[in-house]
Amino acid sequence: MTTPITGTCSKQVFHAKEWGTYSCALQATTIVDGKRYCSIHTPAYVKAKRAQREARWDANSAARTQARLDKEEQDRRAACYPDLLAALKAAHSHLQELRDAWERGAISEHDGKGGTRSDRNVDCEVQARAAIARSKGETP
Ligand SMILES: [Zn+2]
């Protein structure tokens, strides 16, 4: 049988309004290293709460860091958008020229040297046209 713990908590608590400390007035529930503690000031509980607070801080910090990195990535992408769009428009124009040449018969299925016409021209042209339309806020 254990002896009941009597007395109040031995923890000195900071009093924010009076810039001083006072003894915790709560009933002691545990004794650690000869000192009485209430359930709030028990070292194991204090340590667990601190770990919980630090984990929350770390999670918030990681979220802020990720948000900053996401913003930097968005800014980087936005900065190269005009160049990428100009390059895409030039490539789309070239693909249209190839299609026109193919339809006029200026380009044959085979080049006579073992090479063949690319079948990807149409797919690339469609993708480029759709991306350019989306850049203007249009539905492809
Ligand atoms: Zn206490």
- Look at residue 97 and tell me if it is in a domain: yes
- pLDDT greater than 70 at residue 81: yes
If you measure from the C-alpha of residue 10 to the centroid of ligand 1, how many angstroms do you get, rounded to a whole number?
Answer: 7
Same domain flag for 51 and 31: no
Same domain flag for 66 and 37: no
The pTM assigned to this predicted structure is 0.59
The rounded distance, in Å, linking the Cα atoms of 28 and 36 is: 5
Helix (H, G, I), strand (E, B) or coil at 136: coil
Same domain flag for 84 and 102: yes
Same domain flag for 31 and 47: no
If you measure from the C-alpha of residue 4 to the centroid of ligand 1, how many angstroms do you get, rounded to a whole number?
Answer: 17
Same domain flag for 6 and 75: no
Least confident of 24-28, 31-35, 100-104: 100-104
If you measure from the C-alpha of residue 25 to the centroid of ligand 1, how many angstroms do you get, rounded to a whole number?
Answer: 7
Give residue 11's domain range.
1-41
If you measure from the C-alpha of residue 13 to the centroid of ligand 1, how many angstroms do you get, rounded to a whole number?
Answer: 8
Same domain flag for 55 and 97: yes
Q: In the chain, what's the furthest Cα-to-Cα distance?
A: 103
Residue, of 87 and 109, whose pLDDT is higher:
87
If you measure from the C-alpha of residue 90 to the centroid of ligand 1, how many angstroms do you get, rounded to a whole number?
Answer: 74
Specify the pLDDT at position 105: 84
Specify the pLDDT at position 1: 55
